[in-house]
């Protein structure tokens, strides 16, 4: 075919259109959304999402971006599609964000500086928390006045369990409670610090019972809670703050340990973490049902921040355009790939893609979205996409 062959020209136009067309539309929408963001009125972001994003950035140092916060399809789908191109920088940015989120959870567990929940992190946390209990128990015992209340609490746990559990589930729980009550009786109503440690360490029968099926395990957890409460009330005032912190860190550790155990690299899923925090919050935070009423404290906030990091809709348009370009060009079906001028434009296009994607993920844009939602401007931005996008399409078709 000759250079002026109409068929060859049509093929070139189709290839260029398949790659440039979506990009031109995206840039047109991007110009409008970027302008609106700069003006502080981007839309698609609710006040609770803005407040949560503000918490993520300012309180926990998590680099939440506009695609996480907004329901605007440009931010979410556009950033995802741009991130699939080579050298976009999206992968390292996502890893840094996930690491910062996990690092905030690890800090709540008493492990600042960790960015995942690898075995060495979990072992270090368990050892440190256990040391606090060992230290306090070396000089603390639970006196008769406290064990009298503990026995009443244990009877209440058993009463409630019998209303819920099957006979086979009740038997080991009842045996554990009876053994504990007998030990109290045999020691004149006192539980020594050493005995408390034997009852609550990771290898104890009570701990093993906690790890059984969820029904029995939940009630075994109630037994531990009442035992811990009696121990805390019996400790010296100077030790109570350390115990309270250690118990909270233990709770966080037990919230993530099963998730970490099922991970190949110590990273956990935001969705799975939310499920664990919700279940724990129902038990610890409120008789009304937990997070829905109390917010769940810091780990409740981190669970909701994790839910911001949701996957965008998968349209695949950028993938198809890139694949069509590569396969058609490299297969020799077009003169496009053989044209030095056109091929020379690829690095510039990838650099531009990295810049646009970086802007959409940037903290500056996220902060403008948050500020624009929490303190909206009375001025409405101009709509420039209807001008830019058609112009780009006309130029592309020429």
3-state SS of the chain is: CCCCCHHHHHHHHHHHHHHHHHHHHHHHHHHHHHHHHHCCCCCCCCHHHHHHHHHHHHHCCCCCCHHHHCCCHHHHHHHHHHCCCCCCCHHHHHHHHHHHHHHHHHHHCCCCCCCCCCHHHHHHHHHHHHHHHHHHHCCCCECHHHHHHHHHHHHHHHHHHHCCCCHHHHHHHHHHHHHHHHHHHHCCCCECHHHHHHHHCCCCHHHHHHCCCHHHHHHHHHHHHHHHHHHHHHCCHHHHHHHHHHHHHHHHHHHHHHHHHCCCCCCCCHHHHHHHHHHHHHHHCCCCCCHHHHCCHHHHHHHHHHHHCCCCCCCCHHHHHHHHHHHHHHCCCCCCCCCHHHHHHHHHHHHHHHHHHHHHHCHHHHHHHHHHHHCCCCCCCCCCHHHHHHHHHHHHHC
**pLDDT value, residue 333:** 46
What's the pLDDT band for 363 if we cut at 50, 70, 90? confident
Higher pLDDT, 23 or 280: 280
Given a cut of 70, is residue 324 above it in pLDDT?
no
**pLDDT value, residue 341:** 56
Average pLDDT, the chain: 77
Given a cut of 60, is residue 9 above it in pLDDT?
no
**pLDDT value, residue 277:** 92
pLDDT > 70 fraction of the chain, expressed in percent and rounded:
65
**pLDDT value, residue 1:** 46
**pLDDT value, residue 364:** 78
Mean pLDDT on 173-195: 96
Q: Out of 87-96, 156-165, 220-229, which region has the weakest mean confidence (pLDDT)?
A: 87-96
**pLDDT value, residue 145:** 95
Given a cut of 50, is residue 329 above it in pLDDT?
no
**pLDDT value, residue 384:** 38
**pLDDT value, residue 217:** 87
**pLDDT value, residue 6:** 54
Mean pLDDT on 180-207: 93
**pLDDT value, residue 303:** 95
Given a cut of 90, is residue 13 above it in pLDDT?
no
Higher pLDDT, 126 or 310: 126
Given a cut of 50, is residue 124 above it in pLDDT?
yes
Mean pLDDT on 388-392: 39
Given a cut of 50, is residue 216 above it in pLDDT?
yes
């Amino acid at each position: 075919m000759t250079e002026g062959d109409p068929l060859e020209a049509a093929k070139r136009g189709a290839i260029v259109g398949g790659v440039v067309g979506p990009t031109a539309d995206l840039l047109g929408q991007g110009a409008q959304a970027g302008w609106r963001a700069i003006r502080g009125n981007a839309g698609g972001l609710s006040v609770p999402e803005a407040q949560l994003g503000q918490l993520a950035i300012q309180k926990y140092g998590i680099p939440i971006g506009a695609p996480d916060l907004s329901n605007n399809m440009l931010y979410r789908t556009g950033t995802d599609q741009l991130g699939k191109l080579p050298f976009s920088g999206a992968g390292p940015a996502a890893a840094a964000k996930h690491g910062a989120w996990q690092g905030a959870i690890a800090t709540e567990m008493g492990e600042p500086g960790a960015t995942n929940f690898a075995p060495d992190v979990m072992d270090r946390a368990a050892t440190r928390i256990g040391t606090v209990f060992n230290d306090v128990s070396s000089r603390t015992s639970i006196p008769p006045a406290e064990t009298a209340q503990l026995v009443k609490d244990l009877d209440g746990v058993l009463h409630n369990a019998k209303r819920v559990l099957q006979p086979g589930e009740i038997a080991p729980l009842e045996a554990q409670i009876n053994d504990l009550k007998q030990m109290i009786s045999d020691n004149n109503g006192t539980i020594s610090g050493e005995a408390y440690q034997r009852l609550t360490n990771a290898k104890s029968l009570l701990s093993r019972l906690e790890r059984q099926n969820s029904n029995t395990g939940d009630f075994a957890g109630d037994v531990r809670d009442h035992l811990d409460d009696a121990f805390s009330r019996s400790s010296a005032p100077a030790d109570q703050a350390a115990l309270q912190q250690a118990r909270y860190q233990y709770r966080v550790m037990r919230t993530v340990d099963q998730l970490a155990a099922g991970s190949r690299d110590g990273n956990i899923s935001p969705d799975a973490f939310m499920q664990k925090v919700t279940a724990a919050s129902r038990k610890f935070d409120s008789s009304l049902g937990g997070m829905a009423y109390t917010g769940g404290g810091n780990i409740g906030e981190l669970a909701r921040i994790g839910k911001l990091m949701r996957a965008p809709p998968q349209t695949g348009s950028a993938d198809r355009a890139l694949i069509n370009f590569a396969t058609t060009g490299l297969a020799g079906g077009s003169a496009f790939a053989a044209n030095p001028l056109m091929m020379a434009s690829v690095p510039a296009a990838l650099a531009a893609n990295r810049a646009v994607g970086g802007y959409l993920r940037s903290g500056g844009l996220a902060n403008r979205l948050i500020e624009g939602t929490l303190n909206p401007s009375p001025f409405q931005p101009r709509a420039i996409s209807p001008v830019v996008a058609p112009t780009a399409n006309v130029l592309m078709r020429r």
